[in-house]
Amino acid sequence: MSIQETDAKVILTHPDNQNTSVTILKYGATVYSWKMDGEEQLWLSTGALLDGSKPVRGGIPLVFPVFGKDETDPQLSKLPQHGLARNSTWEFLGQTKANPPTIQFGLNKSIANPEMTKLWPEEFNLILTIELGAEFLKTAIEVENPSSFSFLKFNWLFHTYLKIADIEDTMVSNLAGMKVHDKVLKETFIDKHPVIQFQGEHDVVYEKVDDDRVVQVVRHGKPVHTVKRENLQDVVVWNPWIEKSKGMGDFQPKSGYKEMVCVEPGHVSDFIDLAPGKVWKAAQILSKDALKYQAIQ
Protein backbone atom coordinates (compact mmCIF):
# COMPACT_ATOMS: atom_id res chain seq x y z
CA MET A 1 0.00 0.00 0.00
CA SER A 2 1.52 3.30 -1.00
CA ILE A 3 -0.96 5.35 1.07
CA GLN A 4 -1.53 5.05 4.81
CA GLU A 5 -4.20 7.25 6.34
CA THR A 6 -4.91 7.80 10.04
CA ASP A 7 -7.21 10.35 11.70
CA ALA A 8 -4.38 12.85 11.88
CA LYS A 9 -2.10 12.21 8.94
CA VAL A 10 -1.44 10.65 5.54
CA ILE A 11 1.80 8.89 4.56
CA LEU A 12 2.56 8.42 0.89
CA THR A 13 5.35 6.02 -0.10
CA HIS A 14 6.95 5.80 -3.53
CA PRO A 15 6.08 2.49 -5.26
CA ASP A 16 9.65 2.01 -6.53
CA ASN A 17 11.43 2.90 -3.29
CA GLN A 18 10.04 2.22 0.18
CA ASN A 19 12.56 4.71 1.60
CA THR A 20 11.06 7.63 -0.33
CA SER A 21 7.98 9.00 1.41
CA VAL A 22 6.10 12.11 2.38
CA THR A 23 4.01 12.60 5.54
CA ILE A 24 1.24 15.17 5.70
CA LEU A 25 -0.60 16.30 8.81
CA LYS A 26 -4.26 16.96 7.99
CA TYR A 27 -4.01 20.02 10.25
CA GLY A 28 -2.76 22.69 7.89
CA ALA A 29 -2.25 20.00 5.18
CA THR A 30 1.29 20.43 6.44
CA VAL A 31 3.97 18.25 4.86
CA TYR A 32 6.18 17.61 7.88
CA SER A 33 8.50 14.92 6.55
CA TRP A 34 9.85 14.21 3.10
CA LYS A 35 12.40 11.44 2.83
CA MET A 36 14.28 10.87 -0.39
CA ASP A 37 15.86 7.42 -0.35
CA GLY A 38 15.83 7.44 3.46
CA GLU A 39 17.29 10.94 3.86
CA GLU A 40 15.06 13.59 5.47
CA GLN A 41 14.92 16.77 3.35
CA LEU A 42 12.81 19.04 5.56
CA TRP A 43 13.58 20.57 8.92
CA LEU A 44 11.10 19.94 11.73
CA SER A 45 11.49 21.42 15.19
CA THR A 46 11.69 18.81 17.95
CA GLY A 47 9.26 21.13 19.79
CA ALA A 48 6.75 21.24 16.90
CA LEU A 49 3.21 20.51 18.02
CA LEU A 50 1.49 17.98 15.76
CA ASP A 51 -1.78 17.88 17.72
CA GLY A 52 -3.60 20.66 15.89
CA SER A 53 -3.15 23.17 18.71
CA LYS A 54 -0.88 25.45 16.68
CA PRO A 55 0.77 25.62 13.24
CA VAL A 56 3.64 23.19 12.73
CA ARG A 57 7.13 24.64 13.26
CA GLY A 58 8.84 23.03 10.31
CA GLY A 59 7.98 21.11 7.15
CA ILE A 60 5.90 23.05 4.64
CA PRO A 61 3.20 25.16 6.37
CA LEU A 62 0.79 26.80 3.91
CA VAL A 63 0.28 30.55 4.07
CA PHE A 64 -3.13 31.87 2.90
CA PRO A 65 -4.82 34.34 2.52
CA VAL A 66 -2.25 36.72 3.99
CA PHE A 67 1.52 36.64 4.43
CA GLY A 68 2.79 38.07 7.72
CA LYS A 69 0.55 40.40 9.69
CA ASP A 70 -1.39 42.66 7.37
CA GLU A 71 -1.92 46.25 8.46
CA THR A 72 -3.65 47.71 5.44
CA ASP A 73 -6.68 45.66 4.40
CA PRO A 74 -9.76 46.07 6.64
CA GLN A 75 -10.62 42.34 6.44
CA LEU A 76 -7.26 40.60 6.05
CA SER A 77 -5.72 42.61 8.89
CA LYS A 78 -8.08 40.84 11.31
CA LEU A 79 -6.42 37.48 10.62
CA PRO A 80 -3.40 36.27 12.59
CA GLN A 81 0.07 36.21 11.01
CA HIS A 82 0.16 33.99 7.88
CA GLY A 83 -3.62 33.56 7.72
CA LEU A 84 -5.87 30.55 8.29
CA ALA A 85 -4.74 27.66 6.05
CA ARG A 86 -2.05 26.46 8.45
CA ASN A 87 -4.51 26.59 11.37
CA SER A 88 -7.32 24.63 9.70
CA THR A 89 -7.86 20.90 9.29
CA TRP A 90 -8.01 20.04 5.59
CA GLU A 91 -10.02 17.23 4.03
CA PHE A 92 -8.05 14.34 2.50
CA LEU A 93 -9.47 13.93 -1.00
CA GLY A 94 -7.57 10.76 -1.94
CA GLN A 95 -5.20 9.63 -4.66
CA THR A 96 -5.36 11.03 -8.19
CA LYS A 97 -2.39 9.26 -9.82
CA ALA A 98 -0.51 6.00 -9.14
CA ASN A 99 2.99 6.89 -10.31
CA PRO A 100 4.39 9.31 -9.36
CA PRO A 101 1.95 8.86 -6.50
CA THR A 102 -0.23 11.94 -6.20
CA ILE A 103 -2.78 12.89 -3.57
CA GLN A 104 -4.99 15.89 -2.86
CA PHE A 105 -6.30 17.82 0.13
CA GLY A 106 -9.09 20.39 0.12
CA LEU A 107 -10.11 23.35 2.25
CA ASN A 108 -13.05 25.72 1.99
CA LYS A 109 -14.84 28.19 4.22
CA SER A 110 -17.29 25.62 5.61
CA ILE A 111 -14.56 23.37 7.07
CA ALA A 112 -11.85 25.97 7.84
CA ASN A 113 -11.08 27.10 11.38
CA PRO A 114 -14.31 28.87 12.50
CA GLU A 115 -12.45 31.29 14.77
CA MET A 116 -10.74 32.61 11.66
CA THR A 117 -13.56 32.49 9.11
CA LYS A 118 -15.42 34.69 11.62
CA LEU A 119 -12.69 37.28 11.13
CA TRP A 120 -12.39 36.89 7.34
CA PRO A 121 -15.74 35.86 5.89
CA GLU A 122 -14.73 35.30 2.23
CA GLU A 123 -15.73 32.18 0.27
CA PHE A 124 -12.83 30.17 -1.18
CA ASN A 125 -11.96 26.67 -2.40
CA LEU A 126 -8.40 25.39 -2.08
CA ILE A 127 -7.02 22.18 -3.56
CA LEU A 128 -3.49 21.12 -2.63
CA THR A 129 -1.92 18.45 -4.86
CA ILE A 130 1.13 16.59 -3.58
CA GLU A 131 3.16 14.57 -6.07
CA LEU A 132 5.97 12.37 -4.78
CA GLY A 133 8.57 11.71 -7.46
CA ALA A 134 11.51 9.36 -6.98
CA GLU A 135 13.71 12.49 -6.87
CA PHE A 136 11.35 15.40 -6.32
CA LEU A 137 8.39 16.63 -4.31
CA LYS A 138 5.86 18.85 -6.03
CA THR A 139 3.24 20.76 -4.07
CA ALA A 140 0.68 22.56 -6.21
CA ILE A 141 -2.17 24.82 -5.17
CA GLU A 142 -5.40 25.84 -6.85
CA VAL A 143 -7.36 28.71 -5.37
CA GLU A 144 -10.90 29.07 -6.66
CA ASN A 145 -13.09 32.10 -6.11
CA PRO A 146 -16.58 30.60 -5.97
CA SER A 147 -18.31 33.99 -5.63
CA SER A 148 -20.39 35.17 -8.56
CA PHE A 149 -19.96 38.85 -7.76
CA SER A 150 -16.91 39.71 -5.61
CA PHE A 151 -13.15 39.51 -6.14
CA LEU A 152 -10.99 37.36 -3.83
CA LYS A 153 -7.92 39.17 -2.55
CA PHE A 154 -5.14 36.98 -1.18
CA ASN A 155 -1.47 36.06 -0.80
CA TRP A 156 -0.15 32.51 -1.16
CA LEU A 157 3.14 31.07 0.11
CA PHE A 158 4.74 27.66 0.67
CA HIS A 159 6.66 28.23 3.94
CA THR A 160 9.27 25.56 3.18
CA TYR A 161 11.75 24.70 5.97
CA LEU A 162 14.72 23.01 4.27
CA LYS A 163 17.08 20.83 6.29
CA ILE A 164 20.74 21.69 5.94
CA ALA A 165 23.96 20.60 7.63
CA ASP A 166 25.32 23.98 8.73
CA ILE A 167 23.95 27.47 8.01
CA GLU A 168 27.42 29.00 8.29
CA ASP A 169 28.74 27.29 5.18
CA THR A 170 25.48 27.24 3.23
CA MET A 171 24.59 29.70 0.47
CA VAL A 172 21.42 30.48 -1.43
CA SER A 173 22.03 31.31 -5.07
CA ASN A 174 20.30 32.83 -8.10
CA LEU A 175 18.54 35.69 -6.32
CA ALA A 176 21.16 38.33 -7.15
CA GLY A 177 20.01 41.68 -8.51
CA MET A 178 16.48 41.41 -7.15
CA LYS A 179 14.48 44.16 -5.56
CA VAL A 180 14.16 43.07 -1.95
CA HIS A 181 12.21 44.03 1.12
CA ASP A 182 14.36 43.33 4.16
CA LYS A 183 11.99 42.71 7.09
CA VAL A 184 14.80 42.99 9.65
CA LEU A 185 16.15 46.33 8.34
CA LYS A 186 12.63 47.44 7.29
CA GLU A 187 14.11 48.69 4.02
CA THR A 188 13.56 48.10 0.32
CA PHE A 189 16.56 48.07 -2.04
CA ILE A 190 18.27 46.15 -4.87
CA ASP A 191 20.36 43.32 -3.47
CA LYS A 192 23.58 43.07 -5.44
CA HIS A 193 25.20 40.28 -3.45
CA PRO A 194 26.00 37.45 -5.88
CA VAL A 195 24.87 34.86 -3.32
CA ILE A 196 23.10 34.93 0.03
CA GLN A 197 25.22 33.97 3.02
CA PHE A 198 24.09 33.94 6.63
CA GLN A 199 25.73 35.73 9.53
CA GLY A 200 22.64 36.74 11.47
CA GLU A 201 18.86 36.91 11.26
CA HIS A 202 17.82 36.94 7.60
CA ASP A 203 14.21 37.74 6.73
CA VAL A 204 14.05 39.04 3.18
CA VAL A 205 11.37 39.04 0.48
CA TYR A 206 12.97 38.78 -3.00
CA GLU A 207 10.36 40.37 -5.24
CA LYS A 208 9.18 39.47 -8.73
CA VAL A 209 11.79 36.81 -9.44
CA ASP A 210 11.21 35.17 -12.86
CA ASP A 211 10.06 31.56 -12.57
CA ASP A 212 13.03 30.47 -14.70
CA ARG A 213 15.45 31.55 -11.98
CA VAL A 214 16.01 28.31 -10.11
CA VAL A 215 16.83 28.98 -6.48
CA GLN A 216 19.47 26.70 -5.04
CA VAL A 217 20.78 25.98 -1.59
CA VAL A 218 24.44 25.16 -2.05
CA ARG A 219 27.04 23.71 0.31
CA HIS A 220 30.66 23.04 -0.60
CA GLY A 221 29.82 23.60 -4.27
CA LYS A 222 27.02 21.01 -4.33
CA PRO A 223 23.28 21.62 -4.56
CA VAL A 224 21.66 20.59 -1.31
CA HIS A 225 18.22 21.74 -2.41
CA THR A 226 16.83 23.04 -5.69
CA VAL A 227 13.61 25.04 -5.62
CA LYS A 228 11.63 25.54 -8.81
CA ARG A 229 8.51 27.65 -9.00
CA GLU A 230 5.45 27.86 -11.18
CA ASN A 231 3.54 31.16 -11.07
CA LEU A 232 5.10 32.21 -7.76
CA GLN A 233 6.73 35.58 -8.28
CA ASP A 234 8.36 36.11 -4.88
CA VAL A 235 10.80 34.16 -2.74
CA VAL A 236 11.20 34.73 0.99
CA VAL A 237 14.46 33.58 2.55
CA TRP A 238 14.36 33.27 6.32
CA ASN A 239 16.67 32.15 9.07
CA PRO A 240 15.79 33.34 12.59
CA TRP A 241 19.33 33.00 13.96
CA ILE A 242 19.92 33.06 17.74
CA GLU A 243 17.76 35.79 19.32
CA LYS A 244 14.61 35.24 17.25
CA SER A 245 14.78 31.45 17.85
CA LYS A 246 14.88 32.09 21.59
CA GLY A 247 11.57 33.92 21.36
CA MET A 248 9.77 31.02 19.64
CA GLY A 249 8.66 28.46 22.24
CA ASP A 250 8.16 25.71 19.66
CA PHE A 251 11.57 26.25 18.01
CA GLN A 252 13.70 23.41 19.38
CA PRO A 253 16.51 22.76 19.89
CA LYS A 254 17.59 26.38 20.21
CA SER A 255 20.62 25.55 18.07
CA GLY A 256 18.20 24.34 15.36
CA TYR A 257 18.65 27.56 13.36
CA LYS A 258 22.00 26.13 12.23
CA GLU A 259 20.27 23.23 10.50
CA MET A 260 17.49 24.97 8.63
CA VAL A 261 16.84 27.62 6.07
CA CYS A 262 13.41 28.61 4.82
CA VAL A 263 13.14 29.21 1.08
CA GLU A 264 9.51 30.19 0.63
CA PRO A 265 8.08 30.55 -2.87
CA GLY A 266 5.00 32.75 -2.81
CA HIS A 267 3.00 35.65 -4.15
CA VAL A 268 3.32 38.09 -1.29
CA SER A 269 4.77 41.42 -2.47
CA ASP A 270 1.28 42.34 -3.69
CA PHE A 271 -2.12 40.71 -3.55
CA ILE A 272 -3.72 38.46 -6.15
CA ASP A 273 -7.17 39.80 -7.00
CA LEU A 274 -9.07 36.81 -8.35
CA ALA A 275 -12.17 37.55 -10.42
CA PRO A 276 -15.46 35.80 -9.55
CA GLY A 277 -15.58 32.18 -10.75
CA LYS A 278 -11.85 32.09 -11.62
CA VAL A 279 -9.09 29.72 -10.48
CA TRP A 280 -5.47 30.67 -9.71
CA LYS A 281 -2.78 27.96 -9.85
CA ALA A 282 0.82 27.77 -8.63
CA ALA A 283 3.40 25.21 -7.52
CA GLN A 284 6.81 24.58 -6.00
CA ILE A 285 9.06 21.68 -6.97
CA LEU A 286 11.79 20.59 -4.55
CA SER A 287 14.67 18.41 -5.71
CA LYS A 288 18.44 18.14 -5.65
CA ASP A 289 18.88 18.84 -9.36
CA ALA A 290 22.41 19.57 -10.50
CA LEU A 291 23.86 22.99 -9.98
CA LYS A 292 22.73 25.37 -12.68
CA TYR A 293 24.69 28.56 -13.13
CA GLN A 294 22.54 31.46 -14.15
CA ALA A 295 23.35 34.94 -15.33
CA ILE A 296 23.81 37.41 -12.53
CA GLN A 297 22.52 40.88 -13.30
Give the binding site for ligand BG6 (CB under 6 A). 81-82, 159, 183, 203, 236, 238, 264
The dihedrals phi and psi of 267, each to the nearest 5 degrees, come to: -125, 90
Residue 16 CB, shortest distance to ligand BG6, in Å, is 34
Q: Is 159 a catalytic site residue?
A: yes
Query: Given the complex with ligand BG6, which of 135 and 182 has the nearer CB atom?
Result: 182
Residues 6 or more apart whose CB falls under 8 angstroms from that of 8 comprise: 25, 26, 27, 50, 52
Nearer to ligand BG6, 182 or 211 (CB): 182
Please give the radius of gyration of the chain, using alpha carbons only, rounded to the nearest integer.
18
Q: What are the percentages of helix, strand and coil residues in the chain, rounded to 5? A: 10, 50, 45
Nearer to ligand BG6 (CB atom), residue 82 or residue 225: 82
d(CA 69, CA 150) in angstroms, rounded, equals 23
Provide the 3-class DSSP secondary structure of residue 280: strand
Question: Minimum distance from CB of 246 to ligand BG6 (Å)?
Answer: 13
Q: Is 81 annotated as a binding residue?
A: yes
The nearest distance, CB 249 to ligand BG6, in angstroms, is 10
What whole-number distance in Å separates Cα of residue 22 and Cα of residue 263?
Answer: 19
Smallest separation, CB 134 to ligand BG6 (Å)? 30
Residue closer to ligand BG6 by CB (options 11, 119) is 119
The single residue of 181, 202, 225, 264 carrying the catalytic annotation is 264
List phi, psi (to 5°) of 263.
-115, 115
Question: Given 14, 159, 202, 267, which residue is catalytic?
Answer: 159
Q: Is 213 annotated as a binding residue?
A: no
Residue list, annotated binding site: 57, 81, 86
Q: Which residues are catalytic?
A: 159, 264
Residue list, annotated binding site for substrate: 57, 81, 86
